[in-house]
Amino acid sequence: MESKKTFGEYICKRRKELGMTQKEFADKLYVTESAVSKWERGLSYPDITLLLDICAALDVTEHELLTASVDTQKRAAERMAEKYQRLTRNFCIFTCLIFGGVLIGCGIACIVNSDFWILPIAVASVMIAASVTALPFLLARRVEWEPYKWAGSLGGMVFSVELLILFCCVRAGAMAWFPMVSLWVLFGSCLLLLPVVLLMIPLPPVLAGRKTSLGLAVDTVVLLLALIAIGFTYGYHSGWFYVAVLAVLFGTGFITLPVYLGQLPLPEKLRRCKTSLFIGVQSALLLLLLTACCGYSGGAAWDVCPVVLTSVFFGLCLVFLPVPLRQIPLPEPFRRHKALLYFAVNTTLLFILLAAATREWFFPMSVPIALLGLILPWGWMGIIRYLPVNGWFKASLCCVWTGLWTWLYPWILDKILLLNGWPNSTPYRLRLPVDFSRWDDPRTLGWNIFLLALAGLGALAVGLMIIGGVRVHSAQLRGRRSGPAPE
């Protein structure tokens, strides 16, 4: 009964503070005057459906009504909010007065000096200052705009700077410079401010999870537009523009392309080949860039362009071709022979490179020497990939193959050079001129070391062969012991 009495006293006190009679209060709630009298005397509680209407009539919160006391914390917060609103309003009025005074002064100076462009330049400058001072507070006064106040401030500042550049270019009679200067300023602004703005503004669901890709794409587009503006100012006839664009795309690709491949919705087949896509796109851009550079240089550079492109492509395949061969789904006949395919592609590119570089010496000298050099890696590949023996035997045979190739290579090379009219003054002989009694003579020292190296390869081959034989014999013994038990 005490709580009812406290509740009723609070309603009565609040009603009298607002200057309402019991009848007026009852009329607002569509209840009888006696019902209000019972509440205030603590004889009964109002119906729960009337709580919101009672709060609205007495200008109190639900918490204050249910506790029958003033919510001091909320009242203090409301007072602080009202104070902040007054301060922001006064600050905006103060800044507007200052900016208005500046514009009035500039208008007077415009009339005195008979220079119309003073006022537009002053307006753009004042807009820059207002964007970073008054605009955030003006946007914060609206609840729906408050989350975007800083994005609006930064956008207004960039727009005002572009407007100032336009007025200055018109004033100076240099409109041809405006596209280039404005786009470079926009590029710098996007580079610094766009990540912040993208975090503040709402985006569609398709772009909400790809803000990094969106920011990088906008930066790249603006940068390319800035390059186009430079070409528009200085002309495209010299060919430097294409070199610059391709260089920018190639350089930014190392940063932007991994992000795009990680965030863009790719088909399932391409999703499994992201590394291959990256390598392919960057390789294509590099080859296009080299072609543009050769075309820009002209003359002798254009003549050697096929050699340059072929050598670069050969180097790229030599290093990166295993990645596409592993990721790209190949037909069944090729899937089992990826190593053979790798060697075949690189060998073909090597011969194309030699044909472009040596020309008249291609068939008589380049082809035999290249084939002689390729015998070693092709032999390794055939032994490792296709011989049906264990790894120890393969390693032993690789040592034997290396030793034979190292011993025979100089002799065959001498024969090739001799057939092309380049005889060797000291021809290589298969019987090595070794003399282990003369280690102090430089002429025999190298042959002694060479023979010892061949002997070391032979000993290593024998050792590996023995280990392989032991492993095979042990495996056979284990297989016999674990065989099926007799019935």
Residue 382's contacts (CB-CB under 8 Å, 6 or more residues apart) are: none
Q: Does domain 2-70 have CATH number 1.10.260.40?
A: yes
Residue 487 in this model has a pLDDT that exceeds 50: no
pLDDT, one tens digit per residue, over 463-483 is 999 999 999 888 888 877 775
Q: What predicted TM-score, i.e. pTM, was given to this entire model?
A: 0.74
Rounded alpha-carbon distances, angstroms, from residue 86 to 73, 133, 141, 450: 20, 16, 10, 94
Residue 20 in this model has a pLDDT that exceeds 70: yes
Q: 90, 107, 100: which is closest to 141 by C-alpha?
A: 90
Of the pLDDT bands very low, low, confident and very high (cuts 50, 70, 90), residue 75 is low
pLDDT, one tens digit per residue, over 357-383 is 888 888 889 999 999 999 999 999 999
pLDDT, one tens digit per residue, over 148-161 is 888 999 999 999 99
| Average pLDDT over every residue of 102-107 | 88
Residue 37 in this model has a pLDDT that exceeds 60: yes
Predicted pLDDT of residue 331: 86
- Identity (one letter) of the amino acid at 383? I
Of the pLDDT bands very low, low, confident and very high (cuts 50, 70, 90), residue 81 is low
pLDDT, one tens digit per residue, over 220-231 is 999 999 988 888
Q: Alpha carbon 82 to chain centroid distance? A: 46
| Average pLDDT over every residue of 332-342 | 89
Least confident of 63-72, 202-211, 286-295: 63-72
pLDDT, one tens digit per residue, over 186-199 is 999 999 999 999 98
Of the pLDDT bands very low, low, confident and very high (cuts 50, 70, 90), residue 485 is very low
Give buried/exposed letters for 105-144 (b at 16+ CB in 10 A, else e): ebeeebeeeeeeebbbbbbbbbbbbbbeebbbbbbbeeee
Residue 484 in this model has a pLDDT that exceeds 60: no
Q: Hey, where are the domains in the chain?
A: 2-70, 387-479
- How far apart CA 11 and CA 353 sit, in angstroms, is 98
